[in-house]
Structure 1
Amino acid sequence: MSLIKQFLKSRPEVKVTFVVTREAAGDAHQVFLVGEFNQWQPHAMRRLKSGEFKTTLNLPTDEQAQYQFCYQLIDEAGTERYDNDWEADAYVPCPYGRDNSVVQVQP
């Protein structure tokens, strides 16, 4: 799992590439990114030939210092499992008894 950030000079945004490694995805058939930045609505991640899942989003840097997120992994049987980014900037407790990953969007 990794976060790759590129701060844009022309706009108050950071381009964040979210990558779920093959090891982290396990036997997931689909992976969705959910978080504050998309009102916790599933955003499908693209599966690569390597078995990784990847997506890139532009997140505003002038609204808040960080955003919470996690991944929804779905196996072939349709079973859902939520997981955190193993290399997130931080973690915060959520009301469902687990932690959410944090991506910091200010340099």
Structure 2
Amino acid sequence: MAIAKQYLKTKPVCKVTFTVPAEEAKKVAVVGDFNNWKATKASALKKLKNGTFKGTLELPKEGSFEFKYIIDGNYVNEESADRYQYNEYAGSENAVLDL
């Protein structure tokens, strides 16, 4: 798993590219407090020929966002997150993205 950040000079956003190796998976989405934890078309990652899922979201600069991946219905944390934060509602740690 990997995250790539690209800060834009012309807009107050950061393009964040999420890459998830999940050859056996049928669906992968990224959900978090930036999209009310809802898996939508915009948060779905596209499966590439090599079995990796990839997608890019534009998120506001200078923010922190809790998130997880949904891989075939299972919530999974990003291994290379900026940090992790315990979430009482979920009863587990969420990955955190600091922009």
Quote the sequence identity (%).
41
Tell me the C-alpha RMSD between the 2 structures: 1.2
Equivalence for 1:71 = 69
Deviates most, 92-101 or 7-16: 92-101
Moved over 2 A (4+): none
Deviation at 1:97, TM superposition (A): 2.0
Distance 1:26 1:59 in 2: 27
Distance 1:59 1:8 in 2: 11
Deviates most, 25-34 or 35-44: 25-34
The equivalent position to 2:74 in structure 1, one of 50, 75, 81, is 81
Distance 1:34 1:73 in 2: 11
Structure 2, unaligned runs of 5 or more: none
Structure in which a larger fraction of residues adopt helix: 1
TM-score with structure 2 length normalisation? 0.89
TM-score with structure 1 length normalisation? 0.83
Deviations 1:15-34 (A, max 9, x none): 1001112xxx2522111111
